[in-house]
Amino acid sequence: MLNSLALGLDVGKHKISACLLREHKKKEKTFTNDAVGHDAVVQWLKANDAGLVHACLESTGGYSEALATVLFDAGHQVSIVNPTRIKAFAKTEMVRTKTDKVDAALIARFCQLHRPVLWIAPPKKIREIKGLSRRLDALIDMRSQELARLEAPGNVDAVQDSIRQTLRSLEAEIAKIEQQLRDRIDKDEDLRGKRDLLLSVDGIGERTADRLLGEIPLLEEFRNAKAVAAYVGLSPREWQSGTLRGRTRISKIGNSRLRGALYWPAIVAMRKNASIRSFAQRLIAAGKPRMLVITAAMRKLLCLAYAVLRSGRPYTAPRAA
């Protein structure tokens, strides 16, 4: 049962604005967005005899998830909501002022009225996989940027030497993080089994498997493949008004990291995965645009990942007709 007390949290890079709603009464306070501030939020709730509350905050990546995890571990009910929903709710209330304090109260009212789906904090081992995987992505991006600078014309020798030194450091750090990821997965029987199932799907390599394990820790527990596609933001979005019909696009309301992570694997799968190759060829023969075909292949690849984890059986390529 959802709690009657609603806690709205507007989470910024450096501070947290909190609004506790108890029926029509509210209490407000500001905290620092760090470990000390997160603990202070929990203590503030205790000091106000709030008991266990339903806390609601917008999805803002690491800034919100760290606080959400602390509240979850303290026994509170937590919902992490897409910011688009809060923005739409603000329009229904005709909110004209935007401050952190106003936003926190708005989120609290949204929580009290709509009772959004509860969020479950992933286990510590999954948090580690997610953190290491995101760090690896960041390091690989930095390496790409430095390689581009190395190839730029007009660099003096001192600049070239500096870039090469940075690249050596990045390569060493990338290798270290990759090894840490492998070690954590290899030493955990459950994660190792899931990774091996994912690797059985042609088009999914170790990096994609790591991202799937970290970003969707309980992929196999989604009710169906459509729910998985919606979570990642790969569901089709139709536009129609009266006799007018716009182009169908993907919703993009979901995990953008995974959408990015599935792009190149889907292109590989269009060549190496028999099921996805034939699916893509049918779309191409029907005259579908290239990006639509790639997006459809991304969704198909994600659905195959879901299927192997749900069934517990490795992927088997379909037989040729």
pLDDT tens-digit profile, the chain (321 residues): 555 789 999 999 899 999 999 877 889 999 999 999 999 999 999 999 888 999 999 987 677 889 999 999 999 999 999 888 999 999 998 888 889 999 999 999 999 999 998 998 888 899 999 999 999 999 999 999 999 999 988 889 999 999 999 999 999 999 999 999 999 999 999 999 999 999 999 999 999 999 999 988 778 778 888 888 888 888 655 444 444 444 545 555 667 888 889 999 999 999 999 999 999 999 999 998 898 899 999 999 999 999 999 999 999 877 654
How do 54-58 and 77-81 pair as beta strands?
parallel
Range 6-114 has CATH code 3.30.360.10: no
Give the count of alpha carbons within 13 A of 201, CB side only: 33
Check: CB of residue 20 under 8 Å from CB of residue 5: yes
Q: Show Cβ contacts of residue 237 under 8 Å, excluding neighbours closer than 6 positions.
A: 248, 249, 250, 251, 252
Check: CB of residue 257 under 8 Å from CB of residue 208: no
Task: Report the predicted TM-score, pTM, of the whole model to 2 decimal places.
Answer: 0.78
